[in-house]
């Protein structure tokens, strides 16, 4: 789960979020579809494979994504997610569990009203679009993790990835980066070519290593 600070957002650099502000719910729907399609194609024997999230295998990462849909639905309706609460089991129908959660999340955002309206979070006062952007980045990055772990080809939506990257550049501050042994989820940004695929550029910003075997 990407729990980051508002960073330069709070000091007025909202212009960098233009791409995300344009159509956040479209982008969210795209990355939910992406994650769902990857989960559907996971084979049973892949459940124990390691992922770029080194503390999670494939099954644990899918469980995390399903839990995300529920916690993010709480956030979309103006509530405070309880990330310390134990996650519900996902059973054997992983794709069905994710689809059901994604449908509830989409419905919650459709009822959320004006995304420029500001809300109070533990990190400060931010527009609702900041929360939507956080969720887009979460599903996009972890979709990359799943695709990498299971060897699946995936068509990452460039607009959604670029918008998530624009958000992340103002939210993922240096103090949130370190190795996993230090309790941090994000390592240093990894250099990739400027013409790398959008999904790889986003993953690299979050400390992943496109093209490597992790």
Question: Hey, CA dihedral for 7, 82, 207, 24, is it positive or negative?
Answer: negative
| pLDDT given at position 18 | 42
Tell me which residue has tokens 């129908």.
Answer: 93
Query: What are the boundaries of each domain within the chain?
Result: 18-205
On whether the CB atoms of residues 28 and 34 are closer than 8 A, the answer is no
Contact 160, 105 (CB under 8 A): no
Query: Given a cut of 70, is residue 212 above it in pLDDT?
Result: no
Query: Look-up: residue for tokens 């990894």?
Result: 190
* Beta strands 118-121 and 124-127, pairing class: antiparallel
Q: Taking the CA atoms of 186, 36, 63 and 2 in sequence, report the sign of the dihedral they define.
A: positive
* Tokens at 6, concatenated: 């508002």
Three-class secondary structure of residue 126 per DSSP: strand
Residues in Cβ contact with 209 at an 8 Å cutoff, skipping those fewer than 6 apart: 52, 190
CA–CA gap between residue 78 and residue 65 (Å, rounded)? 20
Higher pLDDT, 1 or 147: 147
Q: How far apart are CA 136 and CA 94, in angstroms?
A: 20
| CATH for 18-205 (2.30.140.10, 1.20.120.450, 1.20.20.10, 1.10.1740.10) | 1.20.120.450
pLDDT by residue (tens digit) across 141-193?
999 999 999 999 999 999 999 999 999 998 887 777 766 666 666 778 899 99
pLDDT of res. 6: 46
Q: Is the pLDDT of residue 100 over 80?
A: yes
């Amino acid at each position: 789960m990407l729990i980051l600070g508002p960073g330069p957002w709070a000091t007025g650099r909202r212009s960098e979020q233009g791409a995300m502000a344009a159509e956040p719910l479209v982008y969210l729907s795209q990355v939910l579809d992406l994650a769902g399609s990857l989960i559907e194609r996971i084979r049973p024997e892949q459940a124990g494979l390691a992922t770029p999230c080194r503390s999670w295998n494939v099954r644990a990462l899918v469980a995390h994504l399903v839990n995300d849909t529920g916690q993010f639905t709480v956030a979309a309706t103006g509530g405070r997610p309880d990330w310390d609460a134990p996650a519900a089991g996902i059973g054997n129908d992983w794709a069905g569990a994710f689809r059901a959660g994604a449908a509830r999340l989409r419905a919650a955002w459709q009822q959320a009203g004006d995304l420029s309206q500001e809300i109070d979070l533990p990190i400060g006062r931010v527009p609702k679009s900041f929360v939507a952007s956080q969720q887009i980045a979460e599903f996009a990055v972890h979709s990359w993790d799943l695709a990498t772990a299971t060897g699946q080809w995936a068509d990452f939506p460039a607009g959604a990835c670029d918008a998530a990257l624009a958000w992340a550049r103002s939210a993922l501050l240096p103090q949130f980066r370190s190795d996993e042994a230090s309790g941090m989820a994000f390592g240093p940004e990894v250099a990739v070519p400027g013409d790398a695929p959008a999904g790889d550029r986003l993953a690299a910003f979050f400390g992943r290593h496109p093209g490597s075997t992790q």
